[in-house]
Amino acid sequence: MPDRIGFPPLAAGHPGIDRLGLNCRISPSVTVMRIGSPVEGRGILLGDEVMLFDHVRLLVGDLRLSAQTGIRLGQRVIINVGGYISGEGGLVIDDDVLIGAHVRILSAGHAIHGGEAVIARNPITHAAVRVESGAWLGAGCTVLQGVTIGRGAAVGAGSVVTRDIPPFAVAVGNPARVIRYREGHAPEWWQRLLRRWL
* C-alpha span between 141 and 38 (Å, rounded): 30
Terminal alpha carbon distance of the chain: 49
State yes or no: pLDDT of 13 exceeds 90.
Answer: yes
* Contact predicate 147/140, CB 8 Å: no
Residues designated as active site: 110
* pLDDT band, very low/low/confident/very high, at 152 (cuts 50, 70, 90): very high
Exposure string over 32-51, b if 16+ CB within 10 A, otherwise e:
bebeeeeeeebbbbbbebbb
Cβ neighbours for 182, distance < 8 A, ≥ 6 positions apart: 152, 154, 168, 169, 170
Q: 160-161 and 154-155 as β-strands: parallel, antiparallel, unpaired?
A: unpaired
At 38 the pLDDT is 75
State yes or no: pLDDT of 1 exceeds 70.
Answer: no
* pLDDT band, very low/low/confident/very high, at 3 (cuts 50, 70, 90): low
State yes or no: pLDDT of 81 exceeds 90.
Answer: yes
Whole-number Cα distances in Å, 168 to 52, 182, 187, 192: 24, 6, 8, 16
Domain 25-197, second-level architecture? 3 Solenoid (2.160)
Residue type present at position 100: G
Query: Could you report the per-residue pLDDT of 92-138, keeping only the tens digit for each?
Result: 999 999 999 999 999 999 999 978 899 999 988 999 999 999 999 99
CB atoms within 10 A of CB 191: 10
Whole-number Cα distances in Å, 123 to 22, 141, 143: 38, 25, 20
Torsion sign across C-alpha atoms 92, 34, 86, 6: negative
* C-alpha span between 42 and 44 (Å, rounded): 7
